[in-house]
Amino acid sequence: MSSTEASTAATFADLGLSDSLLKTLTEIGYESPSPIQAACIPVLLDGRDIIGMAQTGTGKTAAFALPLMEQIDVKVAKPQALILTPTRELAIQVAEALQSYAHGMPGFHVLPIYGGQSYTIQLKQLARGAHVIVGTPGRVMDHLERKTLNLDHLKTLVLDEADEMLRMGFIDDVEWILERTPEQHQTALFSATMPEQIRRVAQKYLVEPREIKIKSATATVAAIRQVYWQVSGMHKLDALTRILEVEEDFDAAIIFVRTKTATVELADKLSARGYAAAALNGDLNQQMRERVIEQLKSGALDIVIATDVAARGIDVPRVSHVVNYDIPYDTEAYVHRIGRTGRAGRAGNAILFVAPREIRMLRTIERATRQPISPLTLPSRADVTNKRVADFKGKVAEVLNAEGLDFFANIVSQIAEEQNVGAEEVAAALAMMAQEGKPLQIAGEDPRPAPAAAFDSRRPASFGERDERKPRFNERSGDKPSFESRGERPRREDRPTRSAPTGDMVRYRIDVGRDHGVQVKDIVGAIANEAGIESRFIGRIGLYDESSTIELPAGMPAEAANALKRTRVRGVPINLRPDEGRPDYAGGERKFDGERKFKKKPA
């Protein structure tokens, strides 16, 4: 097992990637390879197994995904690569990255599979054929057992965040999967740390792997105020314009997006709303690029929408705000972006838009910058109206202090006399005319307020499958967890009950139970994933033959309840509804008696 520190490469072209992939990387804004990418891509292209030791956020997804894409034969609609991730969120994130890299590969199909999602949906997608499977260990294992996933054509296997899978109790499942892969394939293992069990797995299943270590890059950006808004309840463009209007000390902004097309589209939309905005992307020649930057410096432009590549080297002191309209792919890009503000000793502001599935990346950025990023409350209609009115009053006050109003005062008097109205009504009419291009009051409704703690988007990074496979209590040692095979584990309902959450709880009934092959972990995973409820807020679960009961926090938001009404577990609609007491369990269904024992109700 050889070991090496990361090397650097000036461009992706130096790494041996194909022209089509290089073109795609340029289009989506990749500028130069990160250390982990520069070190791993050539080794993986050479067909070697690899152990990559790097923190999340260093760009490791591209480090294994780009070489993997070079091996895919789109004519063969069979799984040729399998990527195991510890959580649902990471599986989706990796799948989306692969889809973006496949822009120049018509017919390419990547499929994320994870717990909590309907088996029916996954079975249909698997039947259609997928070239790359990205999944959590438990669900991949289930499909292999059901023989709905075939790995006979597998060329590449990636273990992403192996130490996290160990921490969550998935390592035995990972080994079970490794034992059922073809003998001839390439394996890439990525882990932030290298505990003994992970090293044992590497020694057993990897063939002469090259070990590459990346020192984590950290940055301090203490002078910059960092906030984020979680995308929900309102279109991003509407939210952006509200935020820009209400932000204090706004002078100029650079808004970062991922693609060249997005720079033009967003610039056009902002211009249509009255902002002095322009696009800055790689399609502009040097003369046009310099012209845009000069206009930003002089004040002819207030907003520039840019890709990472195009914004390289911008130094404009008046840039008071940087907006990450699209979250960056890695932490280095984030630090580079927000470094465009707070120049020349001035205060800077960085605003990050985060979709629910991107919360994990938010946490990674916080660790890399060593600073918390605070949630931003979206300005209400009243906030925007008050700001517009204040600005309008300010402009009127400036004009009142100016000279030469006698002519206009005479016109107002004439209008008042001719229309038989007071001067105040004439002034109101003039004010209405003056605000036609940008109404002082905005239409529409405010989005629903942010959910309560139980439905908080700031859930743990490993949220979604945290409870899927935990190490069980070892009766032999009495105090240590063991990662034993799934078949030897006791039934979940026979273990100690879930600790009761604080706060008011409501008990619900669902139409799935033991007869449907459902386990407590399936219910927890489905509820957590579909409704956005942290698993620690899910109360007692009573598992019966044909149905089950579950305690959830009172005051569940309507969107969460609606999501649960559409949820399926093991392919069965759960039909969530309030439990109206203990029904007559005729037919031998067992009843939870509150003491971890089940008994039949007397006839």
Would the pLDDT of 93 be above 50? yes
- The pLDDT score that the predictor gives to residue 398 is 76
- The pLDDT score that the predictor gives to residue 447 is 53
Contact (CB, 8 A) for 338 and 350: yes
User: Per residue in 312-342, pLDDT tens?
Assistant: 667 788 999 999 999 987 787 888 889 888 8
**CA atoms 237, 243, 245, 251: torsion sign:** negative
Q: Please indicate whether residue 344 or residue 78 has the higher confidence score (pLDDT).
A: 78
- The pLDDT score that the predictor gives to residue 470 is 37
Task: Calculate ∠ Cα 289-295-301, nearest 5°.
Answer: 110
**CA atoms 361, 362, 363, 365: torsion sign:** positive
Contact (CB, 8 A) for 160 and 54: no
Superfamily of domain 490-600: RRM (RNA recognition motif) domain (3.30.70.330)
Q: Please indicate whether residue 533 or residue 259 has the higher confidence score (pLDDT).
A: 259
Where are the chain's structural domains?
A: 2-213, 224-380, 383-434, 490-600
Q: What is the mean pLDDT of residues 406-418?
A: 84
Q: Between 260-272 and 236-246, two packed helices, what is the crossing angle to 10 degrees?
A: 60
Q: Please indicate whether residue 320 or residue 249 has the higher confidence score (pLDDT).
A: 320
HSE at residue 345, side-chain half, CA atoms within 13 A, is 0
Contact (CB, 8 A) for 447 and 233: yes
Tokens of 104: 């120049």
Tokens of 131: 């070239």
User: Per residue in 543-566, pLDDT tens?
Assistant: 888 888 998 887 777 767 777 877
Would the pLDDT of 78 be above 90? yes
Query: Do the bridges between strand 548-553 and strand 541-543 make them parallel or antiparallel, or are there none, so unpaired?
Result: antiparallel
pTM summary value: 0.50
Which of these ranges, 43-52, 112-121, 155-164, 398-407, has the smallest mean pLDDT? 398-407
DSSP 579: -
Query: Do the bridges between strand 541-543 and strand 577-578 make them parallel or antiparallel, or are there none, so unpaired?
Result: unpaired
Nearest to residue 221, comparing CAs of 330, 335, 327? 335
pLDDT band, residue 352 (cuts 50/70/90): very high
Tokens of 60: 């490791």
How far apart (Å, rounded) are the C-alpha atoms in residues 153 and 131?
A: 10
Q: What is the mean pLDDT of residues 206-229?
A: 80
- The pLDDT score that the predictor gives to residue 82 is 97
Neighbours of 572 (CB within 10 A): 19
Would the pLDDT of 218 be above 60? no
Q: Do domains 2-213 and 224-380 have the same CATH topology?
A: yes
CA 237 to chain centre: 18
Superfamily of domain 2-213: P-loop containing nucleotide triphosphate hydrolases (3.40.50.300)
Alpha-carbon separation of residue 317 from 254, 350, 474 (angstroms): 12, 15, 62
pLDDT band, residue 151 (cuts 50/70/90): very high
Which of these ranges, 191-205, 226-240, 445-459, has the smallest mean pLDDT? 445-459
Would the pLDDT of 477 be above 70? no
Tokens of 75: 């004519």
Which 3-state string (H, E, C) describes 73-110? CCCCCCCCEEEECCCHHHHHHHHHHHHHHHHHCCCCCE
- The pLDDT score that the predictor gives to residue 3 is 53
- The pLDDT score that the predictor gives to residue 586 is 34
Alpha-carbon separation of residue 453 from 227, 409, 457, 459, 463 (angstroms): 19, 57, 8, 9, 14
Looking at domain 224-380, its CATH architecture is 3-Layer(aba) Sandwich (3.40)
Q: Between 423-434 and 406-419, two packed helices, what is the crossing angle to 10 degrees?
A: 110
- The pLDDT score that the predictor gives to residue 79 is 96
For 473, list phi and psi in degrees, rounded to 5.
-70, 135
Mean pLDDT, the chain, integer: 79
Residues linked to residue 506 through DSSP beta bridges, in sequence order: 552
How far apart (Å, rounded) are the C-alpha atoms in residues 88 and 466?
A: 10
Contact (CB, 8 A) for 529 and 356: no
Would the pLDDT of 67 be above 80? yes
- The pLDDT score that the predictor gives to residue 455 is 43
- The pLDDT score that the predictor gives to residue 313 is 65
pLDDT band, residue 228 (cuts 50/70/90): very high
Reported residue count of the chain is 603
Element (DSSP H or E) covering residue 187: strand 186-191
Q: What is the mean pLDDT of residues 67-89?
A: 92
Q: What is the mean pLDDT of residues 216-245?
A: 79
- The pLDDT score that the predictor gives to residue 574 is 87
